[in-house]
Amino acid sequence: MLEKNFLIVVDMQHDFIDGSLGTPEARAIVPAVAQRIRKRRAEGAVVLATLDTHEEDYLTTSEGRKLPVCHCIRGTEGWQIHPDILAQLQGCQLVEKPTFGSLRLPELIREQAAGAERLSIELVGLCTDICVVSNALLLKASFPEAELSVSRACCAGVTPQSHEAALQTMASCQIDIV
């Protein structure tokens, strides 16, 4: 049986770690995420990483009006992937996304998993309660028979409470929390 495994690394960028929207919890998961990427690559998983990507006009967008904190502006230091994570992503495909969830991720997975009879997708990254949950639900809808999981120790939310709430939401939608 042909199986294809994916690891999706969500928005491990400076602005979410140690920048304008950074948190102690986000900083704390960096070593675990780097280790997880190394492990999954060694196991042969395809690793895809998203980058929250906004333009200079961010504050005039719908998201910017509701979250008026400039972050992940293309080309800025805050937009860059944390160096400890980037070192593990060499050769992996990076996927820019202008909002919480990436519609491109299911397309890429579908292309790279062509012919697979079994599909496994794991998500790690930031922020559990915004972008991780959005991408997890998009992937669950796109691949309802895939084994879909989120690593609790490799994610952090805006707050510890919203992190836990997002994990509960994903578990309610039959996404395994590991």
Per-residue confidence (pLDDT) for residue 70, from 0 to 100: 96
In this prediction, residue 61 carries a pLDDT of: 96
Number of domains present in the structure of the chain: 1
pTM: 0.97
Q: What is the mean pLDDT of the chain?
A: 97
Sorting pLDDT into bands at 50, 70 and 90, what band is 137?
very high
Averaged pLDDT for residues 128-144? 98
Average pLDDT score over residue span 118-131: 98
d(CA 134, CA 81): 20
State percent of the chain over pLDDT 70: 100
pLDDT digits (tens, 9 = 90+) for 149-160: 999 999 999 999
From 41, 57, 61, select the one nearest 49 (Cα to Cα).
41
**Contact predicate 150/122, CB 8 Å:** yes
Distance (Å, rounded) from C-alpha 147 to C-alpha 122?
Answer: 8
Token code pair at residue 67 = 């979250």
Mean pLDDT, rounded, for 66-70: 95
Give the span between the Cα atoms of 146 and 11, in whole angstroms.
22
Which amino acid appears at position 62 of this protein? S
Q: How confident is the model at residue 132 (pLDDT cuts 50, 70, 90)?
A: very high
- Sequence-separated (6 or more) residues with CB below 8 Å from residue 135: 8, 10, 50, 100, 101, 102, 105, 123
Confidence of residue 1 (pLDDT cuts 50, 70, 90): confident
Query: CATH no. for residue 97?
Result: 3.40.50.850
Q: Is the per-residue pLDDT at 103 higher than 90?
A: yes
pLDDT at 174: 98
The predicted model gives 89-118 an average pLDDT of 96
127 cis-preceded (ω within 30 degrees of 0): yes
Range of 165's domain? 3-177
pLDDT in tens, 166-175: 999 999 999 9
Rounded-to-integer distance, Cα 79 and Cα 32, Å: 21
